[in-house]
Amino acid sequence: MPIFERAVKAVNRLKSDNVTELKGFQKVADGVKMVAKVLCMMFQKLPRIRRNTTEDEQLDLYWTHCKSVILTSRLLNELKSYAKEDQNDEVVQEVKKVIESEAYDAQLLERASKAAAGIADWSKAIIQFHEALKVVKPRQAQLAEAKAKSKKAQEMWDKALATLDEVQKNLLTQVNELKRVKDEEAALKKQKEQCEFSLSVAEALIVGLADEKISWEEDLAAQKINNENLVGDIVICSGFIAYLGVFLSDYREECKNGWTEMLKKYQIKSNPKVDLVTVLGDQVRISQWQIDRLPKDNFSIENAIIQDNSERWSLMIDPQMQGVNWLMATYGQMEENQLQVIKPTMEQKILSRKLESSLTFGYPVILVDATEQFDPMLEPIIAKNIQKRGAEYFINFNQQPILYNTEFKFFITTKMPRPHYPPETCVKVTMLNFMVT
């Protein structure tokens, strides 16, 4: 508090020499004696005073007693540590009567003794502190009571918050459980609806397919027969692919019938009328071929199946250009393929460059307008002289090995209606007859 700080400052201005000097005085003013009286009263170290003693005699007794008991080297420390908050109110009232005297003036005391003036300031400040404390203490008590009530209220508030938090957690748990139950209920309802729908569809399907039983039994019987005839059918189709591509429909049919009779002699079962399209055909691929301008007659479809299943490159007899148009439509529209069309009349450098890039990058190549003689450059391609080294493939082209891409495809077409190719050429390619008769 500022009042107490003023008292401390008053003491701090004093030194032990000032107290010693004051103690050494033999005669002092009444004001100094009053200071001595105040010290004796405040420290409760009173002299023995007899009755009928005058006021001046009492002051002299207080002065003498103060010099011997209070004005010691410990005085300054005792002033600083004075129990200011535990003062007796009656003593304070008596002290007030003294300090209110005109002789208890700081300026007058300063002339008599610096120590007396400092002690007078200190005593006034301590008394003022006491008076102020009488006002502050009730308020401090009220503040302490308010803090206690606030603390109790805060505890109640914290407890209520904890209870609310627990309730909210329980509520959230219940809400989540309710949501889970509702979701489960909705899922079960949906499952029930789906089951009811599936049941109704199944019942309708059973009723609707009841009449299909006969056709299924017929199909099952036919499938069993086809399984029994599978080996013979594959043998005939293999021969068809290997030998009949160059012939017309009538001769193809004659050869199939002859092979069927031959298999019977060796007790190998086959269908009486083996159809290449039925055995090896894929209706999806056939539909795409026809979209790509393949003629829709059975003869052309057989040629396409032979070409698709042969290990050798195809040589097409194609005066009407049906086969080449189909190939260009099939491979020319694929973005990943850069279809290369070459002719025997091309310059050797251009032809070599196109073939080398196609072999390396896997582009399809169509040789159109082929004659009965082939450029020696094409010999390793037609013969498929491919070698595997590690994980890669190589082919000898222009008398040096180059990287071979397994996506590479090679087709040969000729407009000659009746070409004559030597046997060594025929065994290296699959000949297909696209000629319209």
User: What's domain 311-437's superfamily in CATH?
Assistant: P-loop containing nucleotide triphosphate hydrolases (3.40.50.300)
Tens-binned pLDDT, residue by residue, of the chain (437 aa): 565 566 566 666 777 767 777 777 777 777 777 877 778 888 888 888 777 778 777 777 778 788 888 887 787 777 777 887 777 777 788 777 778 777 777 777 777 777 777 777 887 887 877 778 777 778 878 888 888 888 888 889 989 999 899 999 999 989 999 999 999 999 999 999 899 899 888 888 887 777 677 777 777 877 887 788 899 999 999 999 999 999 999 999 999 999 999 999 999 998 888 999 999 999 999 999 999 999 999 999 999 999 999 999 999 999 999 999 999 999 887 666 689 999 999 999 999 999 999 999 999 999 999 999 999 999 999 999 999 999 999 999 988 999 999 999 999 999 999 999 999 999 999 999 999 87
Provide the pLDDT for residue 3: 52
Strand partners, 388: 393
Provide the pLDDT for residue 337: 67
Give just the sign of the alpha carbon dihedral 420, 424, 425, 429. Answer: positive
Give just the sign of the alpha carbon dihedral 417, 418, 420, 426. Answer: positive
Q: Roughly how many angstroms between the first and final C-alpha of the chain, as a whole number?
A: 129
> Is residue 222 within 8 Å of residue 264, measured between CB atoms?
no
| Domain locations along the chain | 2-139, 229-310, 311-437
Planar angle of CA 277, 217, 269, nearest 5 degrees: 50
CATH number of 2-139: 1.20.920.60
How many angstroms separate the CA atoms of 194 and 207, rounded? 20
Provide the pLDDT for residue 119: 79
Provide the pLDDT for residue 411: 97
Provide the pLDDT for residue 323: 94
> Is residue 11 within 8 Å of residue 118, measured between CB atoms?
yes
Provide the pLDDT for residue 7: 55
> Token match 């269908």: residue?
271
> Is residue 96 within 8 Å of residue 131, measured between CB atoms?
no
Provide the pLDDT for residue 239: 93
